[in-house]
Amino acid sequence: MSLLDREILALMREVADKVILPRFRNLAHGEIEDKGGNDPVTVADREAEALLREGLARLNDNIGFVGEEAAHADSSILDRLAGPCWIVDPLDGTRNFAGGKPPFGIMIAMADGGEAQSGWIYDCLSGRFCAAHKGEGAFVDGERITARETSETPPLAAISLLFMDDSQRERMKDGIAPHYQLVDIPYCAAEQYPRLALGVNDVSIFERTLAWDHAAGVLWLNEAGGKAARFDGSAYRVDEVGRTGLIGAASPRRWDELAARLAALPA
């Protein structure tokens, strides 16, 4: 594990232990709000982001900071995604956390030129730590890993319909679902990306692709030998703010199969 990985892990542990876990199943009335569109936020999200911002500034204060809650309050912060920046989801899986159930985690990426260069994913309850650096492979708790498919036939698919419109949902149900075993989605990218690499799920479809939800996971899955890319095969970029649609898969061949089926769907 590199020095930077150890420093990021220490920061994530500190934030989880000080801010997030003490409030798990212990949120007071008024400490959960809805940002709109079925998108909850808690006091833990905001306090965790503040601590992460302070900690990352100590590591490198010469690059921008793009946090989910800060960007919600001021959308101009998204302009920083085009340059060198930290990208932070202080509490991924807030819906689960607010409901008193797992999974939930912390996601951090370091990006430049619109592409993630490093990414880290921390499971607050288990302590699992995923790390990746561009061109250097993917790691879990310091051990290099290689993505693997499940042995299931048909393959296992986690397809999030939450942010799709009615017509998209119907096309998915009619044209995609019959080719897969549909499994529960965790409502947590910090859990879904590890599932794709660690032999739990074969493919996943994401409609909403905000940078804090996907920058770290896309890099980590690709570095593990899986594949995450836009529906048309183009690379995921953190600075494509308004773009939607992303496929994650345990292997390039599983990605190709699903992409072909999506391309064949009626408009």
Binding site per annotation, positions:
68, 89, 91-92, 213
CB of 254 closer than 8 Å to CB of 155:
yes
User: Which two structure tokens, joined as six digits, stand for 184?
Assistant: 């529960």
Which residues make up each annotated binding site for Mg(2+)?
Answer: 68, 89, 91-92, 213
Residues with Cβ within 8 Å of 108's Cβ and at least 6 positions away in sequence, in order, are: 8, 12, 52, 56, 86, 87, 88, 89, 119, 120, 216
As a whole number of Å, the CA-based R_g of the chain is 18
Centre a 10 Å sphere on the Cβ of residue 97 and count the other Cβ atoms it contains.
27
CA angle, residues 72, 77, 79, in degrees to nearest 5: 130
Backbone angles phi, psi at 22, to 5 degrees: -60, -20
Other Cβ atoms closer than 10 A to 28? 8
Residues 6+ apart with CB under 8 A from 8: 59, 108, 120, 131
Neighbours of 231 (CB within 10 A): 14
